[in-house]
Structure 1
Amino acid sequence: MTARAHPAEGGGVPPVRTVAPGRNYGALAPALVAAAIALVPIAVVIGIALSGDGSDWPHLVRNVLPQATGATLLLLVLVAAGTASIGVTSAWMVVAYDFPFRKVLAWVLVLPLAVPPYLAAYAFAEFLHFSGPVQSAFRALTGHVTPRDYWFPEIRSTYGAAIVLSMVLYPYVYLTSRVVFIMQGRHIGDAARTLGAAPLKVLWAVLLPVARPAIVAGVALVLMETLNDIGASKYLGVPTLTYSVYTTWLNRGSLEGAAQIAVLMLIIVFAVLMMEKWARRQQRFHVGRGSQMNARPPRVKLTGARAALATLATAAPVFCGFGIPLYVFGDYASRRLYQLTEPDLLDALVNSVIVATSAALITVFVALLLIHAARLDKSRPVAAVTRLAMIGYALPGTVLGLGLLFTLAFIDNSIDAWMRDMFGVSTGLIFTGSAAAVVLVCSIRFLALAEGAVRGGIEKLPPHIDEAARCLGRSPTRSATTVLLPLLRPAVFTAAVLVFVDTVKELSATILLRPFGFNTLATSVFEDASRGVPEDGAMAALAIIATAVIPVVLLSGALTRDRDANL
């Protein structure tokens, strides 16, 4: 309903339009469509898991699930412990102490995010191999000749995989912890110091309990990425649930068995989300910026051996998570410069760019629709449906890929059956096994990433800026496109770049849905590693890392910049 204010006599006051409260079905429609697209693959996976005759279940229970579940849970526990210890310690070091290269290390600690776990696994395996630089240097120092002469830790194990994943995923915890230490530490940390508490005691007894929600949120993201991984676990010989979905479907030809394992993964994901929500229960903190930010006492100045140890300890995660992959693949690539002109690499690069660009455009467009819908209709149904549309980011790519594959196959078969009945023509597979399927699954998976970036930009704008335009007679759509969208260009660009990079790195869903003969940079590296020659994928690996470095640096600057704190 529209209410019009009558202009005063003799005046030229334009009519003022106000929107009466009520359900805006035009806003609800795009949210419902996005939520349905995200939820249908999940529902399909659950349906297939329940529809089987149970013939595969004895084999799964006896031979697959015990080992896969045990390996997955152990890997999750080890990676959670590793990333929490590295991330929290690194964040505390750069916030509480002053030592050489601290300012540089404060942002380069985020660089391992640019390295996908599967690339890190290939690099660590080669770096620590018998013929690699570590063991070669060890033999040169000790005089040993063969592997039987000495013991060396095995990287191809669950513990080795946990180390590799921890080294590239700890920045999730580092970023969230560092922000809390900066903000909260200025108040309660100062109070503890005035009472004579040492910095380590302040960290353990005061700041860690306060930072627990942020730490758990970062660890939850780490666990999602760990559960989603397929390349690192396969290469390092860890039979995780994700890899079991892949092998049960392709090697045993059991769709029902793969779906049943996928449902078990959904249960684990749900448990992780509940853990994160439980950790944040009744946790409310507010910290104002301004003069209080400048009141922070100086960092503890470290000198001599303590300063050197602090620098080395803080630089070690960067060296392991970013330096080793860059060294290994850079060394291999320097001896394979001819690959720069090979058609296979160029095709993989073009395919990656096309898929990533398409996914970025789709996710940004849908994110803008969802945010616009939430601004038009602030009711609980719209908010709930919008949150459901974001569920893809919390799910392993293997689960989404499996569910989407069955969904598209059903659509293709329905179209083919209808065309046969009506026109006697077979259409075959239209969507299944196509590049469009890869774009769609990446769009579902990374929609939350785009929505978060755009929402972060819109929250910085005045809350009623578009309503002012609507009061002057512009429609909601026109006010959004002419007022909000131009102001949101930086946030939209950031969202598109983040989705682009994550799509370039994506492997678990792409490897299930890609057409035959269709390789991206990620699948190209995966195929070379599967054949036992990861060095042949060095150029593709460097292209992935180079693509990811730019937005990771931008993200680091945006999240860690604090001019008031003189960081």
Structure 2
Amino acid sequence: MADLPRSSSVSKSQWNGLKIAAILIAAVLALPILVVLINVLIADGEVWRHLYQTVLAEYISNSLLLMLGVGIGVLVIGIPCAWLTSMCDFPGRSFLSWALLLPMAMPAYIIAYTYTGVLDFAGPVQAFIRELTGWRYGEYWFFEIRSLGGAIVMLTLVLYPYVYLMSRAAFLEQSENTLEVSRTLGYSGRRMFFRLALPLARPAIVTGLTLALMETLADYGTVQYFSVNTFTTGILRTFYGFGDVSAASQLAGVLLMFVAMLILLERYSRHRIRYHSSGLKKASNRRMVLKGGMGSIACCFCLLPILVGFFIPVSVLAYWAMFKAENPGANFIQLAWNSFYLAAIASLIVVSLALVLSYAIRLNPTRSVTASVGIAGLGYALPGTIIAIGTIVPLAWLDHRLIDFVRHYTGDSVGLIFSGTLVALLFAYTVRFMAVSLGAVQNGLGKIKPSMDMAGRSLGMSPYKVLIGIHVPLLKGSVLTAMLIVFVDVLKELPATLVLRPFNFNTLAVRAFELASDERLVDAAPASLMIVLVGLIPVILLSRSIASHIGSSK
């Protein structure tokens, strides 16, 4: 975006103030990453040597196998479903095209608890097999849900929508004329998919795959519950077990290298690749009609991940919550209120800062401001465990300096002001989810004509008054969307909340995790179901947005 002309009635200090504010916000939000990297360099090597000799190889191998399994799984489900719903016509296509996004509302750790209760040895499925056959334990084989394979399946079921979403958008944008040329060359539908459509969609597919793999690396609840040792479980185990922040930071640094490699691979996959649309009719205007058996197979293939990834676990949770779980009573109301107001405050903070950053880059798209906004959005690529470790260290240092200062001059003790309160949690949430809000706000600002800024400044309005008086009302839809997505993401966040929550403070996510860890899966159902139902809201909004976009493009 070109730099907007500046009105002479607006002082230069106001422009510089906005630029400085953007740089300072980015610097503060980058602090957790910087702290982790510094601790990696200055850490004592004794605990690290112990980890290297005992568990590091297991962390690396399990993390790599988890990424490999989930990567294959999300590609096998996401790409065919995207192709079928965008390029083919078959019974149920309209419903399936948006319903395939529903598993996004299901946190991986919740679907893991649900299927453990159903498929474990004491669950109804194996109990029915034993009752039907008379077999006893050890006399038959059944899939072990609490395993690395089980974690791969659970994560695949909730993460394939990333690949589906990106792939479907890419397929829908492909020109009908391009595909028609392939038909004139004698390409069959299968050959056209593999030789033309799939290579054209590769950048979008790799982007979706990268997002899914970063979420896989960030997962804690699923792998912890299934006793699969990965970097996320190792970081928290080192932090709590050894009480060694430096060693935990060293593990976080290795995990950070994995994340950086994923980002670099995603960018390298788009290196020197340019695919331009012809501006002609989209391929979705002429779908291939699948009749009879082929149509039924396509419908069943797309319906299966929805059933397994959403409807079955939600039905099980609803049954447990209504008929089998203990009455949570007033404690549940307190947990819901804690989760609600914490998510609400976090979403207000994140969106407010995102407005400042987005407006700064709109008015002053210099390298320093652009880089600052990019740095501010790095947190979403990092697991909550890394952000939690990077948050607790500087805030604890600041608390101790304040305690020493107050004790020196007054003799009193003020206690922990930052690291022992919700301030730490809110800061970690802001770092973690800033990128989500930035995307929505920048997209909305991009649709506002620069003439609106010029008109406001010609009336003598400062940049801040233009933002509050003109842009915010026009951005109401984008701002509400950003707030809602951040709200739900905070509600589901587990590892950062586990590390940074104040003493005797719980949320729905933490309570569900605690109950599941105590094997009280049924009692965890009300909290889990509440998280899933709230998570449905942004998924429905996303589905409606995609549907309206597709409808307007036809």
Alignment of 1:334 onto 2:322: yes
- When residues 311 and 139 of structure 1 are mapped into structure 2, their CA distance, relative to the original with a 3 A threshold, is farther
Match 2:290 to one of 302, 315, 324: 302
Contact persistence 1:16–1:472 (CA under 8 A): no
Contact persistence 1:246–1:258 (CA under 8 A): yes
Alignment of 1:206 onto 2:196: yes
Match 2:180 to one of 190, 202, 220: 190
Alignment of 1:360 onto 2:347: yes
2:144 — aligned with what? 154
Q: Distance in 2 between matches of 1:483 and 1:545?
A: 36
Residue 49 of structure 1 deviates from its aligned partner by: 2.8
TM-score by length of 2: 0.95
Contact persistence 1:23–1:379 (CA under 8 A): no
Q: Distance in 2 between matches of 1:214 and 1:200?
A: 20
Question: SS at the partner of 1:339?
Answer: coil
Q: Distance in 1 between matches of 2:446 and 2:32?
A: 32
Contact persistence 1:127–1:324 (CA under 8 A): no
1:112 — aligned with what? 103
1:347 — aligned with what? 334
Aligned residues: 548
Question: SS at the partner of 1:554?
Answer: helix
Contact persistence 2:43–2:250 (CA under 8 A): no
Amino acid at match of 1:304: G
Name stretches of at least 5 consecutive residues in structure 1 with no aligned partner: 1-14
1:292 — aligned with what? 281
Alignment of 1:481 onto 2:444: no
Residue 401 of structure 1 deviates from its aligned partner by: 0.3
Residue 336 of structure 1 deviates from its aligned partner by: 4.5
Q: Distance in 1 between matches of 2:482 and 2:180?
A: 37
Alignment of 1:408 onto 2:395: yes
Alignment of 1:543 onto 2:530: yes
Alignment of 1:376 onto 2:366: no
Q: Distance in 2 between matches of 1:378 and 1:102?
A: 43
Name stretches of at least 5 consecutive residues in structure 2 with no aligned partner: 1-5
2:218 — aligned with what? 228
2:493 — aligned with what? 506
1:6 — aligned with what? none
Residue 280 of structure 1 deviates from its aligned partner by: 1.4
Question: SS at the partner of 2:357?
Answer: helix
Larger CA deviation: 330-339 vs 363-372: 330-339
Question: SS at the partner of 1:516?
Answer: coil
Q: Distance in 1 between matches of 2:552 and 2:510?
A: 44
Residue 373 of structure 1 deviates from its aligned partner by: 0.7
Q: Distance in 2 between matches of 1:324 and 1:149?
A: 28
2:3 — aligned with what? none
Residue 238 of structure 1 deviates from its aligned partner by: 0.8
Q: Distance in 2 between matches of 1:401 and 1:65?
A: 21
Contact persistence 2:86–2:284 (CA under 8 A): no
Residue 166 of structure 1 deviates from its aligned partner by: 0.5
- When residues 59 and 447 of structure 1 are mapped into structure 2, their CA distance, relative to the original with a 3 A threshold, is same
Question: SS at the partner of 2:327?
Answer: helix
Amino acid at match of 1:181: F
Q: Deviations over 1:403-423 (max 9, x none)?
A: 101111001001011111111
Match 1:172 to one of 143, 156, 162: 162
Match 1:523 to one of 510, 515, 520: 510
Contact persistence 1:23–1:377 (CA under 8 A): no
Amino acid at match of 2:540: V
Question: SS at the partner of 2:144?
Answer: coil
Question: SS at the partner of 1:272?
Answer: helix
Match 2:425 to one of 431, 438, 444: 438
2:41 — aligned with what? 50
Residue 466 of structure 1 deviates from its aligned partner by: 1.2
Residue 337 of structure 1 deviates from its aligned partner by: 6.5
Alignment of 1:316 onto 2:304: yes
Q: Deviations over 1:224-261 (max 9, x none)?
A: 11111110001111101000001111122222221110
Q: Deviations over 1:103-129 (max 9, x none)?
A: 000000000000011101111212222
Amino acid at match of 1:540: A
Residue 190 of structure 1 deviates from its aligned partner by: 2.7
Q: Distance in 2 between matches of 1:98 and 1:460?
A: 33
Amino acid at match of 1:90: C
Amino acid at match of 2:43: G
Q: Distance in 2 between matches of 1:491 and 1:373?
A: 17
C-alpha RMSD of matched pairs (Å): 2.1
Residue 361 of structure 1 deviates from its aligned partner by: 0.2
Matches within 5 A, 1:275-286: 275-286=265-276
